[in-house]
Amino acid sequence: MRAVIQRVSEASVKSDAFGENRIAAGMLILLGIEEADDFSDVEWLCGKISRLRIFADDQDIMNLSIMETQGEMLVISQFTLHASTKKGNRPSYIKAARPEKAIPLYEKFIHQLGQETGLTVKSGWFGANMQVALVNDGPVTILIDSRNRE
């Protein structure tokens, strides 16, 4: 399971089919799920993200978590995080989980993140064509892969 976490001052996701979700200051989380992932990856990643200290304290040092700032979170599914460009120029997505496996893990991730933080988690729509907009604050962008556990 891969997550790209961006500290944002605002972010939104729109879909012609589903509408719009937006957040103010907090985290935009792009989540890629692969076939090898399971619920233990969800638990580990949610714990890591909820405790990630990427928000400034009163001395402008990145020392606070999303829970301490009471920020907002927006989770977007993104299978392209598992693109392989090793062979040729057209990315392969062979590692990305099929919807029947990915959807339950995506939904569990959103639920688990809300439980870990005690905050509301907004999301995009799995498999939908979406337009994502954000203002990256910092910029701060962190990549976490549950396969590496680092």
Higher per-residue confidence, 149 vs 44: 44
5-15 pLDDT tens trace: 999 999 999 99
Choosing from 80, 117, 120, 141, which is the catalytic residue? 80
Beta bridge partners of 27: 7, 73
Q: For the residues 49-54, what does the mean pLDDT come to?
A: 98
Q: Using pLDDT thresholds of 50, 70 and 90, give the confidence band for residue 149.
A: confident
Contact between residue 43 and residue 146 where contact means Cβ atoms under 8 Å apart: no
Predicted pLDDT of residue 127: 92
Residue with tokens 């996701």: 13
Q: pTM of the predicted model, to two decimals?
A: 0.95
Residue 120: predicted pLDDT: 93
Q: How far apart are CA 8 and CA 27, in angstroms?
A: 6
Mean pLDDT of 45-58: 97
What is the C-alpha end-to-end distance of the chain, expressed in Å? 12
pLDDT tens digits for range 104-127: 999 999 999 999 999 999 999 999
Q: Are 65 and 50 in contact (CB under 8 A)?
A: yes
Q: How far apart are CA 30 and CA 8, in angstroms?
A: 13
Q: How confident is the model at residue 88 (pLDDT cuts 50, 70, 90)?
A: confident
Q: Is 80 a catalytic residue?
A: yes
The domain covering 2-145 belongs, at the CATH homologous superfamily level, to D-tyrosyl-tRNA(Tyr) deacylase (3.50.80.10)
Q: What is the mean pLDDT of residues 27-43?
A: 97
The mean pLDDT of the chain is 96
- pLDDT the model gives residue 103: 97
Q: Tokens for 59? A: 């001395």
Kind plus residue range of the DSSP H or E element containing 45: helix 39-51
Q: What is the pLDDT of residue 122?
A: 98
- pLDDT in the model for residue 80: 92
Looking only at the bridges linking them, the beta strands covering 131-145 and 72-77 are unpaired
